[in-house]
Amino acid sequence: MSSPSKRREMDLMKLMMSDYKVEMINDGMQEFYVEFNGPKESLYQGGVWKIRVELPDAYPYKSPSIGFVNKIYHPNVDEMSGSVCLDVINQTWSPMFDLVNVFEVFLPQLLLYPNASDPLNGEAASLMMRDHTAYDQRVKGKLRCMSRTTLTQLIYAHC
């Protein structure tokens, strides 16, 4: 087994041992879903999202592809595709990082500290800069119909 393959396997096992619910997409270890809970003391607390993770052949030397499957209202997440704008994943990834870092540090930081100056969701960024109270209310309202309660149950609502 090559070094990247061993590292993929180790990181995935470490993620599973950290009490994250992981659902494999196929027989390989390169594509899977992870259940991600909104961080405490954030607007997203209480929300649960299904995150799709794709590990490239060159992982950990190349960053994983991370995307929200169910919608989230956030300036740095494309509401339709679920793509994430996060420098540490998209530009400054290092083999020193692992999957647990993604779910315990990088994604929680993204939700705790949205960056309206580098948006993928221009409407959310604009509202956040223009009227922070209205933005907070919109996030909380959308949270109820965009997040879900279990890994296999998505709430499809017209939000």
Domain chopping of the chain, boundaries: 3-146
CATH of domain 3-146: 3.10.110.10
> Is 85 one of the catalytic residues?
yes
Question: E strands, the chain, where?
Answer: 22-24, 31-37, 48-54, 65-68
pLDDT of residue 157: 43
User: H helices of 56-118, where?
Assistant: 87-90, 99-101, 107-112
Q: Is 135 exposed, middle or buried (0-12, 13-18, 19+ CB in 10 A)?
A: buried
DSSP states along 60-74: TTSPPEEEESS----
CA distance 1 to 144: 44
- Given a contact cutoff of 8 angstroms between Cβ atoms, the answer to whether 43 and 143 are in contact is yes
Q: Which of 16, 85, 88, 145 is catalytic?
A: 85
CA distance 62 to 47: 29
DSSP 14: H
Give pLDDT tens digits for 45-78. 999 999 999 999 999 999 999 999 989 999 999 9
Which has the higher per-residue pLDDT, 143 or 74? 74
Which percentage of the chain shows pLDDT scores above 90? 74
| CA-to-CA dists, residue 17 to 27, 65, 77, 100, 159, angstroms | 19, 21, 27, 10, 35
Residue 24 reports pLDDT greater than 90: yes
Which has the higher per-residue pLDDT, 145 or 114? 114
Return phi, psi of residue 40, to 5°. Answer: -60, 150
